Every structure is written in structure tokens, then in C-alpha cells.
Amino acid sequence: MTYQRSSALFTEAQRYIPGGVNSPVRAFKSVGGVPVFMKSANGAYLTDEDDRTYVDYINSWGPAILGHTHPAVLEAIQKQAEKGFSFGTPTELETEIAKFIVENVPNIDQIRMVSSGTEACMSSIRLARGYTRRDKIIKFEGCYHGHSDSFLIKAGSGAATFGNPNSPGVTQGTAKDTLLARYNDIEQVQDLFRHNTGEIAAVIIEPVAGNMGCVLPEHHFLQKLRELCDENGALLIFDEVMTGFRLAFGGAQELFGVQADLVTYGKVIGGGLPVGAFAGRNEIMDHLAPKGAVYQAGTLSGNPLAMRAGLETLKLIKEDANFFQKINKTTETLDFEIGKILNEKGIQHRINRKGSMMSVFFHISAVSDFDQAQQANHSLFNNFFHQLLKNGIYLPPSGYETWFISAAITETEMDKTLDAVRKFEYS
């Protein structure tokens, strides 16, 4: 399979853009080969610059939960664009989407819009530190909360993919305030609280991790984190950039019945345009400027185009009473059928799945933390990735990423996917 046009475009891109990409994980560094340049997307499909189409299991890393260019969202964006792109003033539309979210997501009174998941997570940590007047945070190895300095310590996603989970440029002064625990290890969290009494502002977690591959919280882990935060006067932050409006409309808070103090959003909330957000109860959010002293700002925060794309996407999800049941059923079927084929081939693997998030680890035992995710056979995954790519299936180009299933995936796309898995040959 030659990717002639992508190869030529990648060579040119590397002349002007570091590594030829505007986000490292797109560069295929982990899986090897030339990153495929896409020129369009529609429904469940991507089309590359060599006019090949692929069933898409990235969906822009989560935003395209409806499938690409949903007609109703497209029309809404077009109409909004005719009124202007961004004003830098308050607009009614920002209140409309904020009200819609606050009224449909548990345990939040206010929400602040930003332009990325990184901004949302970075701002939530600053707010937690300002509110508690404490400096330290606890994050979990393999979790990724965007690329702000406090989080690039044993981070997941692209940082894990390239084996530089501790990025150069993050100062010791910053790193010392980020404490690390193993995902699903409540005893380690207890120890950290015991050895840093009164110093921990917050625990931040992906309630279902998607950046070390898909890794699920074990029995009551999230509830026990809630109890530890309450006992120690720390805030619990759910990073729902991936899980928000994907696991349920109320996200992981609704699904697991555990209340976080702050929740961060991204991806689906913007419907494919740049939106992030963070939300919480009045007593915490009132500390944010201009009402409170904790400063946070953004030129394009809440801009009308992105708000319209997000609001229309969220309304379409909310209006479909069976939306989550359908995409979860699709994901369950893919899990079961892919597993059956890999078993028939005698390939040791584990598939972790929650809702419409799943990933395949080529590993003999369960994967419930970053160490176990790292022990999986990633070269076999890379082989699997390229063989599926050759057969028209586009998976996330790293074993440290979750697949995102969209509502546009039907029997047809599942059959194409299973045919490609059946053709997978491994040495």
C-alpha cells in the first residue's frame, strides 16, 4: 500500500511544522510509517489524500461522537457563521449552552468555557489551589490531562507513546507539587495524603482512563477517592474531557454515581470545534475572576461558532433517548466479535471497554494500570494497526489510546472492521 500523496505532504509539512504535525500523536511515531493525511470526513468515514476511505475509530479523538459533519450541526454552524465568527463580548448563546449543560449534568452550578481540554484541566488545578490555598496535586500514572506543566509527569497519550512521560522543560519547582499514584491503587493515595497532610489541593483523575489505552476504575475506586478527599479537605477533579457526554449525558458522575468537586470537559462539548470547559458548585466556581481572585481568561473562550457546534451536538445527543444504548451496543458487539476472531487466531489479548470507549491490549493478563499497559505487546499492536489501516480501518495510531465509537458506525462498518481483523496475519 503506497501513501504517495501523504508521503509527499508529510515531507513538505516537516519543513514548516515541527515533526510535520500540530499534535505529536498524529505523527505515527509509535506505529511507524507515514502519517496518513486526510482531506475530508463524513459520517463514519475519513478520506485520505490518495482518495482512500477508512472507517474512523478516532473521530478526532472523541469530538465526532455523532459521526463527522452531521447535517444538522453543519447547517447550524453555517447559519451561525453568517452572523460573525468571534466577538470577544458576552453573547446570549454562551448562556444558552451553559444553562443547558448545568441543567442536564449532575452536581454543577456554573461552567466556564475555554478552548481546549488542556486549558480546562490547567484552569481547574489553579482554581483548586486557589480555593484550598494548597499547592500539591495527585495525578495517576498513565493519565493525561493535557500538556500544561503540572501534568507532564508520567503522563499518558502522546507522552507515553514517545516514552517521554516527564517532558523536558518542566521545572523541578513544578514537578515537586505533582504527586503520582498508580491507577486503582487506593492505598498509595492514602499514603500520599498521610505524608502530605494539609498540603494536597486536589486529586485529578480520568474516571475511565483513555490515555494509557482504555483502563477502568476497579470496584468502588472512585468512591474511595471521594471519601479520601473529603477526609483530607482536598477537591476531587474528574477529567471528563473524554468521558463527558460520552459515557452518559452526565458523564462519569452520572454513570458511577460519584460526585466530583470540579469536572473538566473537551472534545464532544465542542462538536469538533475548539471547546473545553470546567464546571463545579457555586462555592468553588465563585472564586474565579472576575467574581473571585483566581485568574483565568481566553480570547476565543465561548466564541459563537464553537458554542453553536457544541450546543447542537449536545442537543442531538440529549434528544435521542437511545443514543448511549446504541453506541454502547455497537462497542459491545465490536468487543465481542473482535475478541472471538483473535481467540480463533490464538492471539493473547485483552479488550477493555466502557460505554463507547474500548482498546485492544495484546497482553496475557488484565490491564488495570499504566505498568500493565506498558507490558502489553505494542509492536504487535503496531502490526495490527497497519494491517487494519491497509484494509480501510483507521484506529488510533498508538496502543496507549482508546478507540472512540461514533453513532455513525452501523452493521456495514462493523462488518468491514471484522473482515479486516480476520485478515490480520501475525508472525
What lies within 8 Å, CB to CB, of 144 at 6+ separation is 151, 155, 156, 157, 158, 159, 160, 206, 211
Please choose, from the candidates 313, 388, 386, the residue with its C-alpha nearest in 3D space to the C-alpha of residue 75.
313
What DSSP state is assigned to residue 227? H
Give 94 or 401: the residue with its C-beta nearer to ligand KE4: 401
Residue 157: CB minimum distance to ligand KE4, A:
4
Residue 170: CB minimum distance to ligand KE4, A:
16
Give contact residues for ligand KE4 (rule: CB under 6 A).
23, 25, 61, 116-118, 121, 144-146, 157-158, 206, 210-211, 239, 241-242, 266, 276, 401
**Angle at alpha carbon of residue 396, lines to 267 and 346, rounded to 5°:** 140
Give 342 or 376: the residue with its C-beta nearer to ligand KE4: 376
Which residues, listed in sequence order, are joined to residue 200 by a DSSP beta bridge?
Answer: 136
Of all residues in the shown chain, the one whose CB is closest to ligand KE4 is 117
Residue 244: CB minimum distance to ligand KE4, A:
9
3-state SS class at 337: helix
* Burial (CB count within 10 angstroms: exposed 0-12, middle 13-18, buried 19+), residue 285: buried
Residue 167: CB minimum distance to ligand KE4, A:
13
Give 67 or 146: the residue with its C-beta nearer to ligand KE4: 146
Give 43 or 146: the residue with its C-beta nearer to ligand KE4: 146
CA–CA separation, 225 vs 235, rounded Å? 10
Give 207 or 232: the residue with its C-beta nearer to ligand KE4: 207
Residue with cell 470496584: 219
**Four-residue CA torsion sign, 408, 413, 417, 418:** positive
Residue 87: CB minimum distance to ligand KE4, A:
23
* Burial (CB count within 10 angstroms: exposed 0-12, middle 13-18, buried 19+), residue 159: buried
Please choose, from the candidates 79, 69, 82, 65, the residue with its C-alpha nearest in 3D space to the C-alpha of residue 42.
69
Residues tagged active-site: 144, 239, 267
